[in-house]
Amino acid sequence: MSRADADQLKVFAGRSNQELAKRICEELDIPLGQGRTELFPDGELLVRMDEDVRGRDCFIVQSTCDPVNANLMELLIFIDCLRRASAKRITAVIPYFGYARQDRKDQGRTPITAKLVANLITTAGADRVLTMDLHAAQIQGFFDIPVDHLSAAPVMVEYFRSIREGLGEIVLVSPDIGNVKVANMYADLLAGDLAIIDKRRSSGAHVEAVNLIGDVAGKTVLMFDDMISTAGTVCEAARIVKKHGALDVIASATHAVLSGLAGERLAASPMERIVLSNTIPFDSRVDPIKDKTVQLCVGRLFAQAIHRTHHDQSISALFKMGEGTKR
């Protein structure tokens, strides 16, 4: 990138995922933007720009992960700060989009919070949104500004192809019916068979898997999902396929939400490896499974999208592998 281009392109980092922002800037060969967030004693946030952004193309990297509300508020304040500092264009880079599971009214008198968050980001002054593996792909339509929806599939596929020889015969297992498109996409990309677990959820915290469609005996099972949250579904699926004769089980997810007792559940599960991206930074929640966890970096993918956006080039090639979204 030329010096003139680098001067016009600015990438800033909120507090939620500064390491990923640094990796993005390394790929772009530009310094991380000089901005900082200060916390007042009463809990209020203040964002300061320590460099000129007037007329610049600005990108803010901020995952709205735990603490979700604090990170979301920081993103909104960051956007407002850049808008008032006369940035030419502001793109909210949200590797993990919180509230994505509240995308519809599934019962009476409940909100559609994903739409509310989209409205807040737009009202704050963002011109574009760049995100990855939304839990519900239709959230793109909640925004009245352009949304570029990346998939972590290229990064995941590159890793699994690098270890493909040692996996033997593989089968891609969908841990539930809603994830069949994702499993089928990876089955095509990795030349594996497909199997499906039919499950019944008896409550929000308890999942009971009851049937396996397909053959896993003597094979290495790979399971892909957009996120691992409480880990109930993936752990139960791992137990089911092991019971049906699977040799090894490897789970992979874009977002390491790992809420509640997820770490302990995964540690006690028969999975030998858990592959996660760095859309959400690793912290103490990963400690119980650190010996069997592999972290993949999506910094290059985001850097390519930012570069193409800055130069007004098409980025559709970057999400050709993302056609197997959950919904």
Q: State the amino acid at position 195 in one-letter form.
A: A
Give strand ranges (E) for 44-156.
Answer: 45-49, 57-61, 89-94, 128-132, 147-150
The token pair at 6 is 């680098």
Strand, helix or coil at 304?
Answer: helix
**Sequential DSSP letters for 137-153:** GGGGGG-SS-EEEE-SH
Contacts of 239 (CB under 8 A, 6+ apart): 209, 269, 270
Are the CB atoms for 150 and 131 separated by under 8 Å? yes
Cis peptide before 67 (omega within 30 of 0): yes
DSSP 65: -
Instruction: Provide the terminal-to-terminal Cα distance of the chain, rounded to the nearest Å.
Output: 37
The token pair at 207 is 């999942």
Beta bridge partners of 36: 48
**Sequential DSSP letters for 263-275:** HHHHHHSS-SEEE
Are the CB atoms for 302 and 95 separated by under 8 Å? yes
**What's the rounded Cα separation, in Å, for the pair 163 and 254?**
18
Q: State the amino acid at position 155 in one-letter form.
A: V
Rounded to the nearest 5 degrees, what angle is found at the Cα of 102, between the Cα atoms of 295 and 196? 60
From 199, 219, 290, 326, the catalytic residue: 199
Contacts of 113 (CB under 8 A, 6+ apart): 99, 102
The token pair at 324 is 């197997």
In the residue annotation, 199 being an active-site residue is answered as yes
Which residues are identified as catalytic?
A: 199
